[in-house]
Amino acid sequence: MTQSARWIRNFVDGEFAEPDGPGFPAVDPATGTEFARVHEAGRELVHRAVVGARAALHDGWADTPVRERTALLRRAADRIEDRFEEFVAAEVADTGKPVTQARELDVARAVANFRTFADVIAAAGQESFVTDLPGGAQALNYAVRKPLGVVAVIVPWNLPLLLLTWKVAPALGCGNAVVVKPSDQTPSTATLLAEVLAEVGLPAGAYNVVHGFGGDSAGQYLTEHPGIDGVTFTGSSATGTQVMRTVAPRVRPVSFELGGKNAAIVFDDADLDETLAGLTRSVFANTGQVCLCTERVYVQRPVFEEVAGGLVERARGLRLGDPSAERTTTGPLISPEHRLKVLDYLALAREAGAETLTGGGIPEMGPGFDGGSWLEPTLWTGLTNKDRPVREEIFGPVAALIPFDTEDEAVALANDTEYGLASSVWTQDLRRGHRVAQAMHVGMSWVNTWFLRDLRSPFGGMGLSGIGREGGASSLHFYTEPTNVCVRL
């Protein structure tokens, strides 16, 4: 049971489905060339996946003891490690990201996700309450958690394996069955994970993969299906709105991690070397294609020029090139269409009077790579919170640098957004760091760091950045339904 070298196939009810149409191309973003065909799932195949998932629950997966489910998660982590370089190669082919990032972040986090949720689920308990009743009697209240059921898992193209396993590991560990719809642009690792989960003994139907697009394709067919008990989605705010509209008539629970327009606040007492290193990561990591990336950098006026100059120097030191080369730091954007979107924002910034400190164009990459979706790392000054490039999510290697004078001004500027995913605060004043971090209207606020995570902590956003939280016990709350039992003693 292996996937064809030519075809990336759907995985339904324990088997890879044979292609029944022309499919669509899987394209390497670094070169612009097709490396495989992807089997697009029609409505009937999506239906089969949902039915197979329901059957897996009824055939015993939902009632499998916790110790057996968590042992399976640990075996999956071990097997991903055994096939580590296969996952790295698949992730690089899909996304064009540097091989070092795929190894150190994406695939490593996939392993950590399975192991962490195995530990969290194995240790999870429930509260109980003894209630005193009139006349000296008592009642015992306790809750039992049951799987949510069949969960639609929809993941984006920027961190496809990391975000897939972030959702699939707790969902399976809690006894659910899942139907995964990966991005049409990054289909490989979700399909490869199907092989791994089958190898470690997951029952047929508990993990399914359907490939395709959103509207009038697999995404729509899945979210419309009456057999889905919940939807977990990471992606754009616009798509999240559409998914919510689709599931609302059936009142299905949703967990959404959506877009961000994240701010960094740099105070004049910050350790500038540490700050510049952190900002370089937070602005340009994964070519700016991370929901947590910083697109607004507010810098206290006394150090504004120094921070701007230092960040420009580091941006120019990034090495764009062959993703398979160890020295490469920065890959392409995911597609020509996405690059066009980012270029449109660059044009909007120029029209608004921005000064481009560095970047702003398409680099010449040379033979083999000029067909890829490359873009220069870009920094602006001269914009304000009123300008569209500062208000709307761009999702590319770009950021606006804006000066401020007082702490209150910085907090007001950072919170002046409809998004609320993440922020970072850079200061050596610990009291101010705590104070400002807590004042941010976001789901995650860092002080003197970025992208540092304890996987047991809650993760998610507010406003246009999402609904609900995942991570640790928060994931367990979404992927299970509690039943309270009350016993009169």
The residues that are catalytic are 257, 291
CB 97 within 8 A of CB 91: yes
240 vs 46: CA distance, rounded Å? 20
Number of neighbours of residue 355 by Cβ within 10 angstroms: 12
Closest CA to 173 of 211, 199, 145, 196: 145
* Cα–Cα distance list, 387 to 258, 299, 393, 402, 405 (Å): 22, 18, 12, 12, 20
478 vs 268: CA distance, rounded Å? 41
CB 153 within 8 A of CB 178: yes
What order do you get walking across the sheet with 207-209 strand by strand?
Answer: 15-16, 11-12, 207-209, 177-181, 150-154, 230-234, 254-257, 466-467
Burial 32-49 (b: 16+ CB within 10 A, else e): beeebbbbbbbeebbbbb
Amino acid type, 218:
A
Q: For the purposes of burial, counting CB atoms within 10 Å of the CB of 132, is it exposed (0-12), middle (13-18) or buried (19 or more)?
A: exposed
Which is it for the CA torsion 362, 363, 369, 373, positive or negative? negative
How many CA atoms within 13 Å lie on the side-chain side of 297?
Answer: 31
DSSP code of 16?
E
